[in-house]
């Protein structure tokens, strides 16, 4: 009976050793042929696209054709109601005069109204109110620059010493058209440079891949230096001379081409 158990144990150990050896041999073989066939083959890296990047700057100039200025009417009266009425009447008279120079109602914008007491100061007593000062302000746009100087003089003549004109600005009415010319010039310059570089390197320009506007210098609203000071009735007996000069804008673009 003892010999039989020992024999069975020995036979079991031998069988276990055979199973382990079989399993180890199967795992160390690097996979079956079917598994090896399923593994994807290594692929080559994609070829990098050849591109050329170039910038161009275009300039454009324009002669201002509009005039804008700030207009103020200031009057003082013994009581606030009288001062407000007088200022309103004077402003209405000035605006009516501007219509003679083709200034439309839509081109006049009210920008301010101020009312303040006027004091009389005494050496030893508290100040006393002697009246009230009212100021009405507006911004005026004259769309025909040829009428600009006459419009300024006409406004001052209509309002008298109560009127102040300041901050004259020369404007270009159609700014988008001027900027459009600068854009065209910027694209043309970028293309010319790109074609030169492509030819020098023995290549040809393909399609435009991207085009981006990177910088724009806007048209300025240049103040007319001679009229920067306030203009009153004494200095506006004749039409104010206005010289338009020129204004400048610039656009810079960045373009990317494919190379063939």
Q: Give the tens place of pLDDT for each residue, 124-149.
A: 889 999 999 999 999 999 999 989 99
CA 21 to chain CA centroid, nearest Å? 79
pLDDT-derived band at 242, boundaries 50, 70, 90? confident
Give pLDDT tens digits for 152-179: 999 999 999 999 999 889 999 898 999 9
Distances (CA, A) of 193 to 163, 208, 259: 56, 14, 14
Mean pLDDT of 32-43: 55
pLDDT of the residue at 233? 43
Q: Three-state SS across 142-190?
A: ECCHHHHHHHHHHHHHHHHHHEEEEEEEEECCCHHHHHHHHHHHHHHHH
Q: Which of 6-10, 32-36, 152-156, 168-172 is least confident?
A: 32-36
34 Cβ contact list (under 8 Å, min separation 6): none
Report the candidate in 199, 143, 188, 209 with the shortest Cα–Cα distance to residue 170: 143
Report the candidate in 242, 222, 247 with the shortest Cα–Cα distance to residue 231: 242
Measure the CA dihedral 184/187/190/196, to 10°: -80
pLDDT of the residue at 218? 85
Q: How far apart are CA 133 and CA 230, in angstroms?
A: 19
pLDDT of the residue at 223? 55
pTM for this entry: 0.66
pLDDT of the residue at 249? 93
Say whether pLDDT at 38 is over 80: no
Mean pLDDT of 66-74: 94
pLDDT of the residue at 6? 63
Looking at the domain that runs over 65-172+231-236, which CATH code has it been given?
3.30.70.2970
pLDDT of the residue at 10? 60
Say whether pLDDT at 82 is over 60: yes
Q: Which of 33-47, 136-150, 240-254 is least confident?
A: 33-47
Mean pLDDT of 193-221: 91
Mean pLDDT of 212-220: 89
CB 258 within 8 A of CB 51: yes
pLDDT of the residue at 232? 45
């Amino acid at each position: 009976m003892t010999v039989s158990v020992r024999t069975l144990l020995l036979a079991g150990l031998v069988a276990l050793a055979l199973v382990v050896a079989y399993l180890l041999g199967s795992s160390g073989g690097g996979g079956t042929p079917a598994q090896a066939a399923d593994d994807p083959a290594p692929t080559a890296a994609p070829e990098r696209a050849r591109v050329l990047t170039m910038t161009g700057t275009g300039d454009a100039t324009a002669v201002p054709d509009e005039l804008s200025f700030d207009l103020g009417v200031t009057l003082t009266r013994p009581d606030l109601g009288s001062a407000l009425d007088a200022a309103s009447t004077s402003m209405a008279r000035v605006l009516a005069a501007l219509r003679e120079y083709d200034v439309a109602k839509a081109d006049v914008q009210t920008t301010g109204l101020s009312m303040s007491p006027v004091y009389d100061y005494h050496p030893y007593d508290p100040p006393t109110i002697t009246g009230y000062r009212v100021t009405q302000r507006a911004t005026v746009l004259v769309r025909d620059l040829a009428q600009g100087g006459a419009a300024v003089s006409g406004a001052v003549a209509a309002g008298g010493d109560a009127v102040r004109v300041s901050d004259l600005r020369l404007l270009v009415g159609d700014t988008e058209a001027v900027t459009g010319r600068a854009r065209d010039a910027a694209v043309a310059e970028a293309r010319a440079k790109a074609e030169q570089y492509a030819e020098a390197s023995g290549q040809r320009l393909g399609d435009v891949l991207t085009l981006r506007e990177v910088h724009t210098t806007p048209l300025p609203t240049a103040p007319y230096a001679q009229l920067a000071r306030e203009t009153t009735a004494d200095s506006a007996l004749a039409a104010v001379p206005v010289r338009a000069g020129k204004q400048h804008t610039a656009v810079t673009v960045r373009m990317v081409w494919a190379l063939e």
